Amino acid sequence: AAGVDLGELGAQEEDLRRVVLDLQGLDFLDPAGLSCLGGWLAFLDGLQDEGLAPTTVRYLEAQTWQRTFVHRMQQAHATLRCEAVD
């Protein structure tokens, strides 16, 4: 993830202030997808030193995989903001 250029994302570095990741529409994500998502969260966590606000993850409390993933990511990234939706 360290090789990612914000221009590739369609954003200018000075425009990127906050990222909200909404998992609510995902019924399933395989292990490779979860690993990729975890990598992006680590990448975004590293940008906080440059002024990016902590990442927010919205997830469905009733989706076991989402709840488990978010709680594990919160343990690894203490500043991760989590918003459970019932």
CA 36, distance to chain mean position in Å, is: 10
Q: What share of the chain is helix, strand, coil (3-state, %, to 5)?
A: 45, 15, 40
Q: What's residue 12's pLDDT? A: 54
- pLDDT of amino acid 2: 44
**pLDDT < 50 stretches in the chain:** 1-4
What pTM does this model have? 0.76
Q: Residue 18: its pLDDT value, please? A: 85
Q: What is the pLDDT of residue 86?
A: 85
Amino acid 1: pLDDT:
38
